[in-house]
């Protein structure tokens, strides 16, 4: 259960990001500055946690002496070869791409719609997982995806307004963020799953920061912007976007699978819609809220089935 809760909390953390980004745009900050401050904060927090974890392991090993497991617990970081580190850094890059295209979409479409499009990673993740296992999703999974798709149409407002009323470029960016996020969920569970979650997360954030520095040189570190409101936005985005979710995903995804992680990640949706409605004052109709409820039903359905059927009979465990 703790692995499911970890992925759920990570997904909910992602849900508040769009609101913070829109507020940052309102203060005149640009895409590279917003994402850069987020990843820099996440990098510092991740490695602070990694060093603290290392310190605790060393102290525990010293207290235990040569007791069983004492020496082994200290070797988690050293066991990561450079091949493993590069694999983890590569696995972290889709998360950066997600942030870039998702945050850019917020310039063209409402935050409540952007999160709906990002949310399409739920069914994309299941398809990726099925392709990776070379197995067709079972009937309950297909039914769940159908429910999720119908709820998405309602929650996005497409049935009320029509797709043509929205910015095409914004919709394309939102869908691109869904694909990259699906890849992040998939690779975060595949890359060196036996390594300590804290170290896995730190190296994935490192890879993302390196990629971002190539795409958007961190000039905000030298022109003084970081000491303004950008620092506050960066701290919030870094904590809830670049620190908490990767740590929790690195902890939970290897144990529950990418397909189930993609479904549980749907909890991000109601959080984001609620934040955009309350904080940004975006109008969310009753029909859209019904769509959110339908989506949540789709998320709960596989778990209800697991309570009735033996674990071995479910496809994604």
Tell me how far CA of residue 231 lies from CA of 49, 167, 237, in angstroms. Answer: 20, 31, 10
Q: What pLDDT is stored for residue 281 in this prediction? A: 87
DSSP state of 228: T
Q: What pLDDT is stored for residue 163 in this prediction? A: 61
DSSP state of 219: G
**In angstroms, how far is CA 41 from the centroid of its own chain?**
16
pTM: 0.79
Q: How far apart are CA 302 and CA 49, in angstroms?
A: 34
Q: What pLDDT is stored for residue 302 in this prediction? A: 65
Which stretch, 91-105, 234-248, 275-289, has highest mean pLDDT? Answer: 91-105
Lowest mean pLDDT of 69-73, 94-98, 120-124, 222-226, name the range.
69-73
Place of tokens 């709820």: 151
Q: How far apart are CA 284 and CA 181, in angstroms?
A: 25
Q: What pLDDT is stored for residue 317 in this prediction? A: 30
**In angstroms, how far is CA 245 from the centroid of its own chain?**
6
pLDDT digits (tens, 9 = 90+) for 154-184: 877 776 666 666 788 999 999 999 899 888 8
pLDDT digits (tens, 9 = 90+) for 107-130: 999 888 888 888 777 778 778 777
Q: Is the pLDDT of residue 64 over 90?
A: no
Q: How far apart are CA 187 and CA 94, in angstroms?
A: 9
Tell me how far CA of residue 250 lies from CA of 48, 158, 313, in angstroms. Answer: 16, 34, 25
Is-contact 295 301, C-beta < 8 A? no
Q: How far apart are CA 281 and CA 273, in angstroms?
A: 10
pLDDT-derived band at 20, boundaries 50, 70, 90: very high
């Amino acid at each position: 259960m703790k692995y499911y809760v970890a992925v759920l909390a990570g997904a909910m953390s992602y849900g508040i990001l769009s609101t913070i980004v829109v507020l940052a745009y309102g203060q005149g900050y640009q895409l590279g500055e917003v994402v850069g401050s987020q990843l820099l904060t996440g990098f510092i927090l991740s490695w602070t946690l990694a060093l603290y974890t290392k310190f605790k392991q060393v102290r525990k090993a010293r207290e235990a002496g040569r007791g069983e497991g004492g020496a082994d617990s200290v070797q988690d970081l050293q066991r990561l070869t450079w091949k493993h580190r590069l694999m983890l850094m590569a696995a972290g890059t889709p998360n950066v791409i997600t942030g870039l295209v998702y945050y850019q979409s917020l310039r063209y479409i409402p935050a409540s719609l952007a999160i709906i499009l990002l949310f399409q990673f739920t069914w994309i993740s299941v398809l990726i997982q099925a392709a990776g296992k070379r197995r067709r999703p079972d009937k309950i999974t297909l039914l769940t995806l159908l429910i999720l798709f119908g709820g998405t149409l309602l929650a996005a407002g497409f049935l009320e307004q029509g797709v043509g009323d929205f910015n095409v470029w914004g919709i394309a960016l939102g869908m691109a963020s869904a694909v990259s996020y699906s890849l992040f969920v998939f690779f975060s569970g595949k890359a060196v799953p036996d390594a300590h979650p804290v170290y896995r997360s730190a190296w994935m954030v490192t890879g993302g920061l390196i990629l971002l520095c190539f795409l958007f040189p961190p000039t905000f570190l030298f022109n003084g912007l970081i000491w303004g409101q950008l620092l506050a936005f960066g701290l919030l985005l870094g904590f809830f976007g670049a620190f908490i979710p990767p740590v929790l995903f690195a902890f939970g995804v290897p144990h529950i699978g990418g397909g189930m992680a993609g479904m549980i990640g749907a909890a991000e949706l109601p959080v984001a819609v609620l934040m955009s409605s309350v904080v940004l004052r975006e109008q969310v109709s009753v029909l859209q809220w019904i769509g959110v409820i339908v989506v949540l039903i789709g998320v709960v359905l596989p778990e209800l089935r697991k309570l009735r059927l033996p674990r071995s009979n479910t496809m994604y465990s």
